[in-house]
Structures are given as C-alpha cells and as structure tokens.
C-alpha cells in the first residue's frame, strides 16, 4: 500500500477526534447540572446520619449555584431532573426553618409541564409537598398530595413509594383522630417495607403505631414499639431518628411515672441533637425537661423551659405531631395549676429571653 492512503486515514482520524472532543455547549451545561444533582442527592441520602450537618453547610454555601441549575432544568423542559434537585433542596430549606419557601419550591416545580409524567421522583416530590402541607395544618392538601403520590407508586409497582405515601396518609389520619385508618395505613406501609427488607422503613411505620398507642394511653405497647424503631435506627446509624425516638420514649416513661428513666432519655436525645447542631431538635428535648420539671413540682423552672423551647420551635415553624402535642398539653395544663397567672407570666418572660445555651444549662442542672 502506498503512503498516501495511510496519511489520509491518519488525518481523518485526527479530525474526527477533534470534532468529538469539542463537546456541544448544551451537553456541557447539562453534564455540569447533572453533577450538581448527584452530590445534592448524596447529601440528601446522608442527611440523617453523622455527616448531616456537613452537608447542610455545603448546601447553604452553594445555594446560588443550585438555584441556577434548577432554573436551567426548568427552562430546558427537564422536569424530572428539576424534581431530583428540588426534593433535597426543599428538605434542607425546611430544616433551616424556611418551610414556606420549601413548599412554594415543590409546588412550582411539580406544576412544570415537563414534570407531569407519573414518575417515581414525582411521587416522592408529591409526598414531600404533602408533608409540608401537613406541617402548615393544611390537611386537605396533604391528603390530596399523598393520595396522588400513592396512585403513581401503585401504577409503577413501586413498593417503597407506596409505603412512603401510606405513611403520610397515616399521619393525616392520626391528626384527625381517625385511629383505625392511621393504624391501617401504617400497617400496610410496614408490611411493604418488611417485604423489601427495609428495616428502617419498617421502623418508620412502627413509629406511627407507637404514636397511636401512646395517644390511646397504651404506654407499655407504645414503649415496645418505640424501642423497636429506636433499635432499628441505631443499627442503621441514623442519628436524627434515634434522637427523636429517645425523646418519644422519654415521654412514655414520664407518663409511666419513671422520672429517672425519662430524664435519662431526654438527656441522651438532647446530646444527640446538640451533636447534630439541630436547633429545633434541641427545643423538642427542652420540652421534655420542662415536663419533667412539672412532675417534680418545679413550676417556675418548667415555665422558663417551655417558653424558651416554644420560642425556638416557632422560629422554625415546627408543629408538634399529635402524640407530642397531647403530652405537651397535658403537662402545660398541670403547670398552670401550680403557678399563679402573674408568676407564670414572669417565668415565661424570663424563659423567652434565655439563649439556647442558657436554656440547655437550665435543663441539665440539678435542681
């Protein structure tokens, strides 16, 4: 063979390589946008573990870039990718007390024509929007959104998606005091999680059954179910649910008259929330210590702790779940019988001025 054809072949290969290496600008932008989605999804997947606080810091720092990426997906009719980014972003915003922004974000992205297909990520976003509506006490919207999420998951035969939507419907039913429906939804969710080998997911459903038992005064049963959830989350290394179940179990022990066990559980819960830099969780734990103070006939201390805790929770737009609310109502009602109105107002005013660190010190100090 002569050298001419060989040279031509080499030149053709070089030209082809250069053309292929010159990436189309749109594809380059899309690749960068998908890289943003990938790390944010990792942050979301690890949000309840020991790296949760680190991820929150990074999401906050890179928010402008994330919003730019979200806008890019929206403008380019990539609704599913926009939802993949919006779901974790809404979670982190809500965690920081930006609940209304979180709900508006999910509502806006869900309304995109390109996000209308009945996909698994749409089902997830619908459930998260339902949770935000639930936190706003918008029961009708929460139910409608979770019912749509459930329909999509059933259509896709997505057991995990079905279990999640059913759990949301269980919470709505619990708040409406429809305990039979709350149990039915939670039991179906738990079976689905068990069958796919998701013990933590099963524990979430067991948590709802514990909440029903707690509300109905079945404290031995509630303690057993909360303990199952606590153990499953400890095994998985999920710090936030562990802190929450310690708190719940603390109230059950308090109702059973075991003040020592209750205070020990609240202390462990508080420490975990402090380690996670979770201000709302810290406030939750403080309500436990306030309730212990009521039982110990220390009304001034209890009133200061309640005022401090409720002020923090108001800042984060946190609404108590029905089982927690029932206990808070019980102990605050008792508190009002132990203090004169004037003394209550004075103690409350003092509590509202406490810094979080001072409130924690008050909770942990030996009376």
Question: Taking the domains of the chain in order of start, what are their residue ranges?
Answer: 25-46+53-111, 118-217, 259-367
What sign results for the dihedral spanned by CA atoms 105, 107, 112, 115? positive
Supply the mean pLDDT for the chain: 92
Note the pLDDT of residue 19.
Answer: 42
* Cβ–Cβ < 8 Å for 360, 286: yes
pLDDT band with cut points at 50, 70 and 90 for residue 318? confident
d(CA 211, CA 189): 15
Question: What is the C-alpha end-to-end distance of the chain, expressed in Å?
Answer: 99
d(CA 129, CA 104): 9
DSSP H/E element including 156 = helix 139-156
- Higher-pLDDT residue of 55 and 366 is 55
- Higher-pLDDT residue of 161 and 17 is 161
Note the pLDDT of residue 11.
Answer: 42
Note the pLDDT of residue 316.
Answer: 84
Nearest to 209 by CA among 180, 236, 232: 180
Tokens matching residue 94: 């809500």
Note the pLDDT of residue 22.
Answer: 57
With a CB cutoff of 8 Å and minimum separation 6, the contacts of 8 are none
Lowest mean pLDDT among 182-191, 282-291, 305-314, 316-325: 316-325
Q: Is residue 231's pLDDT more than 90?
A: yes
- Overall average pLDDT of the 45-55 stretch: 90
Note the pLDDT of residue 9.
Answer: 39
Note the pLDDT of residue 90.
Answer: 96
What sign results for the dihedral spanned by CA atoms 123, 127, 128, 132? positive
d(CA 325, CA 328): 5
- Overall average pLDDT of the 282-301 stretch: 97
Note the pLDDT of residue 48.
Answer: 85
| Residue 296, φ and ψ in degrees, nearest 5 | -85, 5
pLDDT band with cut points at 50, 70 and 90 for residue 367? low
Nearest to 228 by CA among 240, 242, 218: 242
Task: Kindly report the CATH class assigned to 118-217.
Answer: mainly alpha
pLDDT band with cut points at 50, 70 and 90 for residue 225? very high
Half-sphere exposure in the Cβ direction for 127 (13 Å, CA) = 23
Q: What angle do CA 223, 230, 256 make, to 5 degrees?
A: 20
pLDDT band with cut points at 50, 70 and 90 for residue 3? very low
Q: Is residue 133's pLDDT more than 50?
A: yes
Note the pLDDT of residue 123.
Answer: 97
Nearest to 360 by CA among 288, 295, 298: 288
Note the pLDDT of residue 248.
Answer: 98
* Cβ–Cβ < 8 Å for 129, 107: yes
């Amino acid at each position: 063979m002569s050298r001419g054809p060989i040279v031509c072949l080499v030149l053709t290969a070089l030209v082809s390589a250069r053309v292929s290496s010159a990436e189309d600008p749109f594809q380059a932008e899309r690749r960068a946008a998908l890289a943003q989605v990938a790390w944010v999804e990792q942050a979301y997947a690890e949000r309840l573990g020991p790296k949760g606080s680190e991820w929150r810091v990074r999401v906050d720092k890179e928010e402008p870039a994330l919003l730019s990426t979200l806008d890019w997906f929206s403008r380019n009719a990539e609704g599913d990718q926009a939802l993949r980014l919006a779901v974790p972003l809404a979670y982190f915003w809500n965690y920081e007390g930006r609940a209304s922004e979180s709900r508006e974000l999910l509502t806006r992205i869900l309304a995109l024509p390109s996000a209308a297909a009945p996909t698994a990520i749409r089902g997830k976003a619908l459930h998260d929007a339902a949770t935000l509506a639930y936190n706003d006490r918008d029961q009708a919207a929460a139910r409608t959104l979770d019912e749509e999420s459930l329909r999509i998951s059933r259509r896709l035969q997505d057991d995990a998606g079905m279990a999640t939507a059913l759990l949301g419907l269980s919470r709505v039913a619990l708040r409406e005091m429809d305990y039979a429906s709350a149990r039915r939804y939670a039991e179906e969710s738990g079976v689905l999680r068990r069958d796919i080998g998701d013990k933590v997911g099963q524990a979430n459903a067991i948590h709802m059954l514990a909440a029903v038992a707690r509300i109905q005064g079945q404290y031995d049963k509630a303690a057993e179910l909360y303990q199952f959830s606590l153990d499953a989350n400890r095994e998985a290394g999920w710090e936030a649910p562990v802190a929450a179940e310690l708190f719940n179990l603390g109230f059950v022990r308090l109702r059973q008259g075991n003040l020592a066990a209750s205070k020990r559980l609240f202390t462990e819960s508080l420490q975990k929330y402090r380690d996670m830099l979770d201000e709302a969780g810290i406030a939750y734990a403080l309500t436990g210590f306030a309730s212990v103070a009521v039982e110990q006939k220390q009304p001034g201390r209890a009133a200061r702790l309640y005022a401090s805790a409720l002020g923090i929770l108001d800042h984060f737009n946190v609404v108590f779940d029905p089982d927690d609310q029932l206990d808070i109502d019980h102990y605050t009602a008792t508190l009002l019988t132990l203090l004169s109105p004037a003394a209550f107002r004075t103690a409350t005013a003092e509590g509202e001025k406490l810094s979080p660190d001072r409130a924690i010190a008050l909770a942990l100090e030996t009376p």
